[in-house]
Structure 1
């Protein structure tokens, strides 16, 4: 499949299958301990950015319920519309994560679950550098990345008749990118999924 604009493929895929994605993954319990742990590390009333926020559940919802001020960003207009309906106490921005901008040291934490892997490889390190700049000194980055290098398309994503695109480096590359961006990896773990899996990084801005 010749892909001229992979981001457009991602946007259209999530616009088309927002509900199906939530039915498939939205109730996953693996997010809950990650969110609870992060919430304990963020100051009361602290600011959190959710990059690739989807429909706002469970990440933005649970962080907002814990008293944090949450901003979500997603490339899918449908996902953002649903997030605004489901989590009215948070702020949501319809934008490409690589194009959005915030002031230096704007957030106590940045979360990004299963979003970096939908961004072209050459844009991922620059985005991580922006993330580090948006964090306050000592602020947390909590994100998932690829574990092995792969770029490809699922022509019938989630059985919904819509293609989806991914691109990710291997875990060692991400470990290096996070360090080059100006963050220190505090913890790293493998998160299994199907026959493969992803890496979960907990890092702090220097």
Structure 2
């Protein structure tokens, strides 16, 4: 199935409609634990007070909240108006911006601004043609020694799920396989320092941690 021209808007509409179905104000135990395990990798490379960009931050739970609780300065970005509105209430210590991650005119940061970039389950909603350029921009935002923590596709797939989360809403995803993401990350000038499969059903996602030299 080919990507629709308005895929980003469809993703935005889906998360606006099902913000609370997707994530409550408090993360469940397994989700909290899983995210904490991934984000704890920042502690060895990013000092307290470092600026972390949370791309696809949702309602700020649990990632932005964990980052704030562990002493980081956080800027969260999400395409969903509803998610950003909730994040500003739930994690008032962080800054949140409503923007399309794939649009360089809508979202940019100074070179070397970020001590880390977090992108959990967000890149996979962006049209394929826009993901590699975004990866290069992410690499540019990182300071030397800065860290990227991302969950991306394990197997290549693009398409939609009608009746997402048991509703009448559709949701779209687009992602290559993990080896393609690895190539994009390395071509952008980052070194992959950790990688693992995050199982989900019969497949899963790929956790990739990469560092700018």
Does the pair score TM above 0.5? yes
Cα deviation for residue 39 of structure 1 reads 3.4
Alpha-carbon separation, structure 1, partners of 2:165 and 2:101: 23
Within a 5 Å distance, the mapping from 1:1-206 to structure 2 comes to 3-23=4-24, 26-27=27-28, 28=31, 29-99=33-103, 100-206=107-213
Task: Judge conservation of contact 2:45–2:145 (CA < 8 Å) in 1.
Answer: no
What is the CA deviation profile of residues 137-183 of structure 1, one whole-angstrom value per residue up to 9, with x for unaligned ones? 11000001101110010011111210000000011111100001110
Cα deviation for residue 36 of structure 1 reads 2.2
Cα deviation for residue 106 of structure 1 reads 0.4
| Residue aligned with 1:144, SS | strand
Q: Which runs of 4+ in 1 moved over 6 A?
A: none
Deviates more, 1:26-35 or 1:114-123: 26-35
Task: Judge conservation of contact 1:39–1:63 (CA < 8 Å) in 2.
Answer: no
Alpha-carbon separation, structure 2, partners of 1:4 and 1:186: 35
- Length-normalised TM-score, structure 2: 0.93
Aligned residues: 205
Deviates more, 1:29-38 or 1:178-187: 29-38
What 5-or-longer segments of structure 2 have no aligned partner?
none
Cα deviation for residue 40 of structure 1 reads 4.2
| Residue aligned with 2:39, SS | helix
Cα deviation for residue 128 of structure 1 reads 0.5
Task: Judge conservation of contact 1:107–1:136 (CA < 8 Å) in 2.
Answer: yes
Q: Kindly tell me: are residues 40 and 160 of structure 1, through their superposed partners in 2, closer, same or farther at Cα, counting changes over 3 Å? A: farther
Q: How much is the aligned-residue C-alpha RMSD, in angstroms?
A: 1.4
Alpha-carbon separation, structure 2, partners of 1:118 and 1:4: 13
- Length-normalised TM-score, structure 1: 0.96
What 5-or-longer segments of structure 1 have no aligned partner?
none
